[in-house]
Amino acid sequence: MSTISTQLRNFKEPTKDQLTHVFFSIPEAPPVPAKDKEKHGSGEVETMEINAILSLGAQGVEDSYAGKLYLLPPYLAFSSLDRKSVRFTLPLSTVRRVERLNARAGVYALSLSTWHGMKIIVQLTSLRPTADLFCSLLREALKVELQRGQMKAVKGFVKTCYSEGLVSASGVSENEREDGSLITETKDGSPPPEVEFHGGLGLQFKFPGDPKKLREASKIKLWTTYLKNHGRNLTLLRYPQCTRLVQVGLPNRLRAEMWETLSGSIYLRYSNPGVYHQVLLDIEGKSSTSFEDIEKDLHRSLPEYAGYQADEGISALRRVLQAYSNRNPEVGYCQAMNILAAAILIYMSEEQAFWLLEVLCDRLLPGYYSTTMHGTLLDQRVFESLVARCLPMISDHFQEVDVQLSVASLPWFLSLYINSMPMVFAFRIVDCFFCMGPKVLFQVGLAILKINGEKLLQIQDDGGFLNLMREYFASLGDSAHPESADPRARAITRFQELLLISFREFAVITDDTILSERRKYRNEIVNSIESFNKRSAVRNLKTLGRFTKDQAGFIYDALYKAMCEVPPPPTAAPLPLLLTTANEGNQERVETRIGLQTFRVFLSEILTWARNERIVINGFQQRIDREVAEHELIVRLFYFWDESCKGSLSFQDLVYGLDGVMFNDLMENIEWFFNLHDKNKDGYLTKDEVLTLSESFLFIFRYEIGDAYLGAVSKFMTNAFEYGDSLLPHQTDGETGETGPQQIGHNQPYLNLATFRMVVLADEVLESFFETDLSASFRLDPVPDLELPPASSGFLGDLWSNIATQDNKKIFHKLSDELGKTIGKHQILYRPIIGRLTKLEEPTARESLISPSSIKTPLSGGSSDTLAASNSSSTLVVDALSNQDNDGPSSALASAAFSPMPHFRAVNAAFMERTPFAIDDAGDDDDDDSDLEMIDVDNDDQVMDEVDAFLEAHDSGLSEADKELAKDLLNASPVK
């Protein structure tokens, strides 16, 4: 029993827009605005970016920074050019006022006032019309927010943030929304009487660590100042000092709010009010395998913390984990999530934790907790490569003594170090993680290895490595330089040293590094996971039948490919793949079963008559288009193999079913075919069934050349009814001979196996069909064997896959077809299924065949379609051009055989050649029109690409100039 998931195939590289959203922690595709967009018809150019210079209204607080201002409704975001110094993400609803500043000529400046009374000044340094456009879009977007009533939501929402009380209580703003008691009780950690802000279990059960040692009071003071000047929660501006403050550790009370602000989960909570409570209502009384797993782990999550020895903590943890698993059933629940949730619940309210968990699992640690844990494996691979690059000696030593880095580092990443380090330290890493992103995990990991470098070079095995790490983590609170004479140096703890090295020495590890490394290793990981799954699926088969393990592997490949292909929306398993839970609530051990549609595709992979193969010759290439055949016979086969009558087939069913036909001899084949059509399994075919069986023959022989098969089938029918009637003598004899057949109802038992056999054997063609051709029409080894390459090459990630998408291939094929039509070389033939009688036309074609093996190799790296074409050894992949007289493209096409990439070029080359044709045949017909369109589309794309490229260059050129100008401006006259 095995679960087969094609989920990994659905990965797509994030687009530039998505990356921007991720960078600004803006929730993707916010559900409400999507509707509003249509309602208000606020145009297509919704989002926009523009060069700008940011300065704070209050003078002298911070420097000005040049960067880019993004309008991403319902957010306004800014990032400095270096992408790290300054940034903000403002929900538009927190913008209370926008004024155009009356400044010097040539300066286009806006002053934005936020909810918190902060003034942000942005100079738009792009050209005037661009700036105008931006302003009008901004105005539109603000109007939309106003109409949505979001402006009012702000007031209620900010009350849930601790900073509001913190700032107002220090008496600077005349904010009467909070009571003053809040601040007086902050220090001792007991909850104030009326808590409006969200907080975690720590309010009640104390926060880990000694507040004095953590210097809570002075941290709070620093933060109060910062939050007062730079905005807070929804309106926080992140200047360099913010990052520095985070790096020294967040104060306990502020942690919840800062975590959600820095990670962006605050925007989710803000834009989805009440959702968490709705989810809780939804899951009431529900049960799932995830819930069972969660239950097992509830009492095993940070059990040493007082809050989790009490019912309160446990049930909060249960609710949050259940709610998340319900919201994202694809992830469900993964061990380690309990530890994360337990940790953040110390500081955060359930609602906050719920949203933070979502950001964590979906955005910050993508794929970490999925059922395949591919994200975890991928990042381990990335970490390994970073170690090899940054710490080659350690990496070499590990290889030498065969120590696997992941044995230690995997839990680091999976539980954000919470499980590895003492909690107080782990939380500080978590602080940085939320502020600076996933790269922190890598930086810290590298620093740990670097600090322990010398000792690591001594270790001999995995165990030694783990022990060393354990000792090190236990000593993080100790002085890093105990011997030093300087008391200040002595005061530096090992943990501080760790952070320092992480962020100083490994600052080279950037988000981009991580992204590009992930891209690099993604295929490798996906392949290893898939081949691992394949091995276990084959291993877990109850019976291999007469197949070898390799052959079972081929069946698996075909099944896998079918699963990738068929469900056009394959994200959710339910539709095409019926997921049935194997007996009992067996955790995650769900057997994958395929439905009829997937089965069709599967069968078309290994059974020649389950597919139509069209040989398309268009003068440039000859390829074979494969289609899945539709016929009642295939449906019949599906139910024939569905022995457990579930309306779906498992991998085991397929193996078993194929085993029942692929190893048969003549007699067994006849019997098999008979049984296939004997629906009620009474050992007799009815007349209807005989007819159906004949139709099946016709279907199987549909592309055979010549009349032999047709003749055989009609002979079969005549004989079958003749013998059948003659074998019903007792009944017919009683009547007059003619009426006999009528008397036997069409669904009465009519023809038994022996008779059927006789009839079949009476015909040479049918006999040879059952003798060899039927079994041979199932082809295991060659087909899936060649199916593998697309999995290992391309398909995901690399450049080629971007070009070789199914769509592009289709376009390419269509193009070349159209071209072929234009030059009159387009031709479609159906490939015979059995192909025994091919004498009619083959010989000449054979001459032009190049040996199949020589074609297979160059193509093996290519797309699945072309592969499919080269599958069957008798295929006619012809060097089409060698026969053609078209010289121009032929040279290009000669190289086309080697990689699909030049195919594209070939088409382009063909375009060049083609033009005269187009003119010549200008008035020809529709074909040409579509032809032209096709080309236009393609050309447009290319042009757009170029324009894009230009824009890029243009933009950066401008921003360079802008920067200069901006500096001048700043120095010359501060904007009013």
Partner 1 sequence: MTDAASGSVDRSVQVKLVLLGEAAVGKSSVVLRFVSNEFQANKEPTIGAAFLTQKCRLEDRVLRYEIWDTAGQERFHSLAPMYYRNAQAAVVVYDVTKATSLEKAKSWVKELQRQANPNIVIALAGNKVDLVQTSPSSSGSSPSPESEDEADDATATPGEAPSASGGEPESLRQVPREEAQAYATEAGLLFFETSAKTGEGIVEIFTEIAKKIPIEHILASTRGSAGRSAGRVGGARQEVNLEEQQSKKDACNC
Scored b (16 or more CB within 10 A) or e, 189-221 reads: beebeeebbbbbbbbebbbbbebeebebeebbe
Q: How far is the CB of 411 from partner 1 (least distance, A)?
A: 4
Distance CA 2, CA 580 (A): 11
What would the x/- binding string for partner 1 be over residues 334 to 353, using CB under 8 A? xxx-xx--------------
CB 118 within 8 A of CB 60: no
| Residue closer to partner 1 (CB basis): 170 or 371 | 371
| Residue closer to partner 1 (CB basis): 277 or 535 | 535
Distance CA 40, CA 143 (A): 10
DSSP string, 863-880: -HHHHHHHHSTT---B-H
Is 414 near partner 1 (CB under 8 A)?
yes
Q: How far is the CB of 395 from partner 1 (least distance, A)?
A: 17
Is 411 near partner 1 (CB under 8 A)?
yes
Structure tokens at 192: 């104030």
What would the x/- binding string for partner 1 be over residues 559 to 598, using CB under 8 A? ------------------------xx-xxxx---------
CA distances from 341 to 132, 175, 267, 283, 633 (A): 46, 33, 19, 18, 53
Among 406, 452, 694, 752, binds partner 1 (CB under 8 A): 406
What would the x/- binding string for partner 1 be over residues 597 to 636, using CB under 8 A? ----------------------------------------
Is 303 near partner 1 (CB under 8 A)?
yes
Tell me the CB-side half-sphere exposure of residue 474, using CA atoms within 13 A: 6
Q: How far is the CB of 358 from partner 1 (least distance, A)?
A: 19
The span of 535-543, 610-618, 882-890, 957-965 binding partner 1 (CB under 8 A) equals 535-543
List the one residue out of 865, 895, 864, 872 whose CA is nearest residue 792: 864
List the one residue out of 784, 782, 790 whose CA is nearest residue 864: 790
Is 312 near partner 1 (CB under 8 A)?
no
| Residue closer to partner 1 (CB basis): 466 or 901 | 466
Distance CA 19, CA 868 (A): 35
| Residue closer to partner 1 (CB basis): 159 or 318 | 318
Among 539, 646, 746, 810, binds partner 1 (CB under 8 A): 539
Q: How far is the CB of 539 from partner 1 (least distance, A)?
A: 6
Among 293, 358, 605, 938, binds partner 1 (CB under 8 A): 293
| Residue closer to partner 1 (CB basis): 302 or 634 | 302
| Residue closer to partner 1 (CB basis): 337 or 975 | 337
The span of 257-265, 289-297, 655-663, 846-854 binding partner 1 (CB under 8 A) equals 289-297
Peptide bond into 487 cis (omega under 30): no
Q: How far is the CB of 587 from partner 1 (least distance, A)?
A: 6
| Residue closer to partner 1 (CB basis): 302 or 320 | 302
517-522-528 Cα angle (round to 5): 135
| Residue closer to partner 1 (CB basis): 79 or 372 | 372
CB 334 within 8 A of CB 188: no
| Residue closer to partner 1 (CB basis): 10 or 467 | 467
Helix (H) or strand (E) holding 623: strand 622-628
Instruction: Answer left, alpha or beta for residue 308, where phi above 0 means left and psi between -120 and 50 means alpha.
Output: alpha
CB 220 within 8 A of CB 251: yes
Which phi and psi (to 5°) does residue 237 adopt?
-100, 130
| Residue closer to partner 1 (CB basis): 580 or 806 | 580
| Residue closer to partner 1 (CB basis): 11 or 699 | 11
DSSP string, 102-166: --STT-EEEEEEETTS-EEEEEE-S-HHHHHHHHHHHHHHHHHHHHHTHHHHHHHHHTTSHHHHH
Of 344-403, binders to partner 1 (CB under 8 A) are: 369-373, 377, 402
Is 320 near partner 1 (CB under 8 A)?
no
CB 778 within 8 A of CB 674: no
Residue 604's identity, in one-letter code, is S
Q: How far is the CB of 11 from partner 1 (least distance, A)?
A: 17
Among 143, 300, 810, 967, binds partner 1 (CB under 8 A): 300
CA 780 from chain centre, in angstroms, equals: 30
Binding-site ranges for partner 1 (CB under 8 A): 293, 296-297, 299-303, 334-336, 338-339, 369-373, 377, 402, 404, 406-407, 410-411, 414-415, 419, 461-463, 466-467, 529, 532-533, 535-536, 539-540, 583-584, 586-589
